[in-house]
Structure 1
Amino acid sequence: MGTARIDALFERDRACQGAGITLDEVTGGRAVARMKVTEEMANAHGIGHGGYVFLLADAAFSYACNSYGPVALAQGAQVTFLAPAQIGDELVAEATERTRSGRQGVYDVTVRTIAGTVVAEFRGQSVLVAGVPHSA
């Protein structure tokens, strides 16, 4: 999926592990993650809870902005939900760097079903954090 550093980071990522999120690809400024929507992820309307869709998008964003080496954290994020995620859907989140300048970056993430339906668009803003090792 990525470098040994990214693999070790993902191994410690309990949120991703708990939601069944996997990483397909991590390269400089880009990441692809996927997750199957389970019954445990349903909201009161019987569709995938938006919090899980956000979690998947945020995970792809996190690995894209941490792909260079220095520790990057989210300083903000917005999501627009465009279609409901159904129980049983396999979702794919593709994060792409839009710009990186100094300590800050902007990343866009599209979350789609395997069939290609766009479920959500996410924009995350990252900040590099000096003095925080990846193993913390």
Structure 2
Amino acid sequence: MTDAATAAPINREMMQRDRAAASLGLVVERDDPGHAVVSMRVREDMTNGFAITHGGFVFALADTAFAIACNEDETVTVAAGADITFLKSTTAGQTLTATAVRRTRSGRTGIYDVTVVDEHGEPVAEFRGRSISTNRTF
């Protein structure tokens, strides 16, 4: 594992190249090894036919926090899989915040939990990501 001084520049470099996150307006609030916080304001174009936030955007927010948390050193780490449970719907104008926390990391694999909450701190979704480190470096 690495320290925050090493992980932050790596994650900042990764996020500077992340066009998907930029197009969604994601804001990185925290990028420590094994821990990340990312927020997103829900726009009208992020809602579905029921005028609620499309689940794909909630997943993208959680997945981005997961990506930051699991890239703890110079080794490129990606998702091996992820699951999400939606708990509450949200609408345009709300701000969602995803907090990712490392549960375990052993060898090339890891498990990270991400909680997504609304601006009132009420749970919106729970996400569990499984990571795998590649042979590539930043």
Query: Would the TM-score normalized by the shorter structure come out above 0.5?
Result: yes
1:25-47 CA distance string (max 9 Å, x none) = 01110100000000000100001
Amino acid at match of 1:46: A
2:104 and 2:87 map into 1 onto residues whose CA distance is: 24
The runs of 5 or more residues in structure 1 that have no matched partner are none
Q: 2:56 aligns with which of 48, 51, 54?
A: 51
The answer on whether the counterparts of 2:65 and 2:98 sit within 8 Å (CA) in structure 1 is: yes
Within the alignment, does 1:14 sit opposite 2:22 as a pair? no
Residue 5 of structure 1, CA deviation: 2.1
The answer on whether the counterparts of 1:29 and 1:68 sit within 8 Å (CA) in structure 2 is: no
The alignment of Structure 1 onto Structure 2 pairs a total of residues equal to 133
Residue 7 of structure 1, CA deviation: 1.3
Amino acid at match of 2:133: L
TM-score by length of 1: 0.94
Within the alignment, does 1:67 sit opposite 2:67 as a pair? no
Residue 133 of structure 1, CA deviation: 3.0
1:74 and 1:88 map into 2 onto residues whose CA distance is: 29
TM-score by length of 2: 0.92
Within the alignment, does 1:133 sit opposite 2:137 as a pair? yes
Question: What is the RMSD computed on CA atoms of the aligned residues?
Answer: 1.3
The runs of 5 or more residues in structure 2 that have no matched partner are none
